Structure 1
Amino acid sequence: MERDIINKLNNFKDKHILVIGDFILDAYVDTQCERLAPEASVPVLDITKTTYSLGGAANVAYNLEKLGSKVSLLTVLGQDDNSKKAIQLFKSNPQKSLYLHFSAEDQTLCKTRIHKDGQLLYRLDEGKHLTLENDQMDLFLKDLRELYLKCDAVYIADYNKGAIHYKVIDLLEELKSMVYKPIVIDSKNYLQYRNIQPCIIKPNYKEALELTHEKAHNDRIKQAPYLTDKLMEISKAKLVALTLDKDGVYVSRRNGSQFHIETCQVEVQNSSGAGDIFLSTLLLNHLVEIDDINAAKIACQAASIGIQKEATAHCTWEELKASLIQESGKVIINSENLAELVKIKGQDKTVVLTTGCFDIFHSGHATFLKQAKEQGDILIVGINIDESIARLKGPDRPVNTLMDRMEVLKALSYIDYIVPFGDQDDTPISLIKTIKPHVFVKGEDYQSTVTPEKKTLMSLGIKQVFIPLVPHQSTTKIINRVQGNTINLKKIG
């Protein structure tokens, strides 16, 4: 992905999101089964571990924080043991600004998932709906009015559990008419929000069918444009992101573009919260002015990162940025992108840089690079582009093109990243200044030479290591041997 788009992710930290919605406490119970109960001949599940995490609107706030933004959470809890557990979790994660209101009679919503050997067996739900007394509702609305004026956007997480009262919707409509703020909505009933005219809504396929009263279609992607048009009519939303599970996401903008984004095929550990990641990332992308297509791609990438984790899914800013930079694999074309990736992934690790042409790859190269890797944890290979080699070695070089040479290096397991250089300067000086490795490796034949980069290495405090070369192995010698031999080719057959 282009660097200017990736750089816009840095602006996530400047955005303040108000999250309003239903709080859910997620409980995960790991069990094992080794016997049957004698009284009923049913399996006995022995609990091995129980963990709790913030779900619902709190998980949305958690994901927005992990993506780097400031967050205020306005939600409702009961007055029970699950409420106490929730407050303890909030205390252990104090970054967000909390505005908690309490229902006098109702239970805090809790979803308990029981697993055996990683397989979900049952889900047990506590609590159905929370209501606030009139005085508590007045305080809730007072907080909403004050927080709205301070935030950059509003995220409504409506699970139809009571936090989003009709008075909340009416007040948002009033506030938006006075001061525009983007409002994104995740709900099971978008009709009630049509007067707000949301910036983005994110129904899934099942919800879309229920809202539009349509029947399921064998080709969901083909049906998607019709469904999103009807959803825009129902909700008055500016943009609809229709999630289609394994079939990806179909995005439609009112009087604008329509497109389909395929999802990455990854191992799913837990899909709970994937939609929250997607919409959270999509909102932040919108706020930092990333175009719709790239915004949807980035949001899908964030969701794919999240669902590979155990418990409730989440994606951090660092993980997302590193993933976007590294989407092409080992080869990172832009050295500044590589520097950013190394900064994220190279914490507490020794970064090693070496450079060369690596034209006709031979055993000397293989041995040299393997020993270079032994100098640290992350090995980066800077490789001269074709034009640079021609300037250094003469017009008959390189023998192999840059793409062919990089393809060979990609196959080596001990190389972590490859970056081309030499478009303006044939020395590795600019590469060293950009990446700032801990160790710079050269062959021992350079040990007695004052190299162009030596002054830069010393000024930056970078250690230089010289590695012994394999005797009689060099690209030039191989070329000379080939040119010095007469090769007779016989026709076969």
Structure 2
Amino acid sequence: MDRDIQAVVVGDVMLDSWLRGPVKRIAQEAPVPVVSVEATEDAPGGAGNTAANLAALGARVRLIGPVGDDACAEQLATALSLLGVDARMVTVPGRRTPHKQRLMVGEQLIARYDEEDRDPIPAAAEARVIEELRESLPGADVVIACDYGAGGCTDAVRRALAGLPLLVVDAHAITPWRTCAPAVVLPNYGEVLQLLGEDGGHDDRVRFLTERSGRLLAESGARMVVTTLDGEGTLLHQEGRPPYRTYAEPAPDHMTTGAGDTYTAAFALWLAGGAAPEQAAQAAQAAAGVVVRRPGTATCTRQELLRALHREDGRAQTPERLAARLDEHRRRGQRIVFTNGCFDVLHRGHVTYLERAARLGDVLVVAVNSDASTARLKGPGRPINSCEDRMSVLAALGYVDYVISFEEDTPERLLRMVRPDLYVKGGDYTPEMLQEAPLVRAMGGEVRVLDYVSDRSTTAIIERVRSLPEEDPAGPS
């Protein structure tokens, strides 16, 4: 995503406040803890948090939404300006700016109390919001509507957004947005149940949503639906395709909020930059993974997301997670290629071999011997580079899709989980000489041996380096 993107965000803006401190005593008035507040953190919330994330990710952002004539609105304006957001707030006299305040003791949420008015904004404010939209929409690459039921997204505002080529809607209630024909809607599980008119209590939420993929698209009126499932990741629904799943990072111990806003911002931005929806979903999940590791209301920068994507694309953290991701590729009819090795000192022979392997399919998985496994296979003094370093170098190759390590001397356990369509090895032997060949064939896969580039050997490189004369520490005379 390299384009300079202009994004417009419209909807319910709020202020998030986090009050933190210890409990030192119980109140005399009632048996409740007394929290001695030692720190207060304020941040834009709702549509403001979506706009802040877009700015952090590198977009030029204009935010339009109603606020009250109060101190919270002033705090929001200052914070948004510092974050690089062009805030076009519409002040509504007599109305309160939505303010969510969370009282924290350590990482425990003790109470949350909200100050807000949820009635639709009056006609005069509505007209000013629409006027700001008319001024902003012609230059926008993507428009994001944040409708949290706080009164900023009226019927007239929705009509002003109808028919836009790239309208992304994050709304508590999806049905009112159907007539806008949005490009994307992003309901959570509870909002999906409301949209479909169904009850909860489903043990397998992923299966439940997969079976109703067509209904979700029809009921929402959107070209794409992203259903968010917190710790279970997301499902991307598109017409004529099986749902595409992303996987969330393990839940942190601390209290965080707004990861959904981060997801929405990254997904919208990647789509506007020309990425495929599946790529946008992966980027959005990675961005959400950055902010859930932070307490409070946080944003993800472009640099942080690119680093997260590099780690995410290059490495599957567990064999189980890798297998689940490959199942998604397999459902889309993609051919899985698997190879393995120590890759201790990466050289031209490795690179040529891996590039040739990648051309034999759609997804290339590279399994790397761990440090202990490499030492057993190669002998004392090996590996030269740690497993983490070797994996990082391999992950940087554009044609390598997944890198994973294994502790055993052979990758048979991984092969049983990955079930590749093609198992590739490099060397001057035949497939029948490979210990893993019968297993791969029993699972319906193919085995192929590719020649290494001649006169390229890790061992030879290491020996040449070791044979070089040591440099005089004193330097040349």
Q: TM-score, normalised by structure 2?
A: 0.68
- Give a deviation string over 1:360-393, Cα, whole Å, max 9, x none: 99xxxxxxxxxxxxxxxxxxx96335569xxxxx
SS, match of residue 11 in structure 2: strand
- Superposed displacement of residue 466, structure 1: 10
Which segment drifts farther, 317-326 or 80-89? Answer: 80-89
The answer to whether structure 1 residue 384 and structure 2 residue 354 are counterparts is no
Where in structure 2 are the equivalents of 1:140-219 lying within 5 Å? 140-173=129-162, 176=163, 180-216=164-200, 217-219=202-204
- Give a deviation string over 1:134-191, Cα, whole Å, max 9, x none: 3333222111111111101110000011111111111222xx3xxx430010112221
- Give a deviation string over 1:418-454, Cα, whole Å, max 9, x none: 4699979989xxxxxxxxxxxxxx87945669xxxxx
1:104/1:133 contact within 8 Å kept: no
SS, match of residue 275 in structure 2: coil
2:7/2:144 contact within 8 Å kept: yes
Number of residues of Structure 1 aligned to a counterpart in Structure 2: 367
2:21/2:106 contact within 8 Å kept: yes
Deviating above 6 A after TM superposition, structure 1's stretches of 4 or more consecutive aligned residues are 328-331, 412-416, 420-427
- The alignment's C-alpha RMSD in Å is 3.7
Where in structure 2 are the equivalents of 1:427-466 lying within 5 Å? 445-446=468-469
1:233 is aligned to: 218
1:202/1:279 contact within 8 Å kept: yes
Identify if the C-alpha distance between structure 1 residues 382 and 74 changes in structure 2 by more than 3 Å, giving closer, same or farther. farther
The answer to whether structure 1 residue 261 and structure 2 residue 246 are counterparts is yes
Aligned letter for 2:179?
N
Where in structure 2 are the equivalents of 1:278-297 lying within 5 Å? 278-297=263-282
Identify if the C-alpha distance between structure 1 residues 99 and 383 changes in structure 2 by more than 3 Å, giving closer, same or farther. same
Unpaired runs of 5+ in structure 1? 1-8, 332-358, 362-380, 389-400, 428-441, 450-464, 468-493
Unpaired runs of 5+ in structure 2? 317-340, 352-365, 375-382, 398-451, 458-464
2:419 is aligned to: none
1:89 is aligned to: 79
Aligned letter for 2:93?
A
Identify if the C-alpha distance between structure 1 residues 317 and 443 changes in structure 2 by more than 3 Å, giving closer, same or farther. farther
- Superposed displacement of residue 72, structure 1: 0.6
Counterparts of 2:95 and 2:342, CA distance in 1? 73
Counterparts of 1:191 and 1:305, CA distance in 2? 31
The answer to whether structure 1 residue 300 and structure 2 residue 281 are counterparts is no
2:30 is aligned to: 40
Q: Whose Rg is larger?
A: 1
Identify if the C-alpha distance between structure 1 residues 91 and 423 changes in structure 2 by more than 3 Å, giving closer, same or farther. farther
- Superposed displacement of residue 290, structure 1: 2.1
Aligned letter for 1:72?
R
Identify if the C-alpha distance between structure 1 residues 328 and 229 changes in structure 2 by more than 3 Å, giving closer, same or farther. closer
SS, match of residue 40 in structure 1: coil
2:174/2:191 contact within 8 Å kept: no
1:443/1:466 contact within 8 Å kept: no
Aligned letter for 2:5?
K
Counterparts of 2:175 and 2:31, CA distance in 1? 49
Aligned letter for 1:246?
G
1:25/1:54 contact within 8 Å kept: yes
- Superposed displacement of residue 219, structure 1: 1.2
SS, match of residue 268 in structure 2: helix
- Give a deviation string over 1:70-90, Cα, whole Å, max 9, x none: 111001110112222222323
1:103/1:131 contact within 8 Å kept: no
Aligned letter for 2:265?
S
Counterparts of 1:302 and 1:102, CA distance in 2? 32
1:26/1:111 contact within 8 Å kept: yes
1:112/1:124 contact within 8 Å kept: yes
Where in structure 2 are the equivalents of 1:245-260 lying within 5 Å? 245-260=230-245
Counterparts of 1:181 and 1:51, CA distance in 2? 37
- Superposed displacement of residue 330, structure 1: 8.8
Which segment drifts farther, 221-230 or 127-136? Answer: 127-136
Identify if the C-alpha distance between structure 1 residues 133 and 23 changes in structure 2 by more than 3 Å, giving closer, same or farther. same
Which segment drifts farther, 288-297 or 147-156? Answer: 288-297
Counterparts of 2:7 and 2:454, CA distance in 1? 43
Counterparts of 1:111 and 1:45, CA distance in 2? 18
2:61 is aligned to: 71
SS, match of residue 61 in structure 2: strand
1:455 is aligned to: none
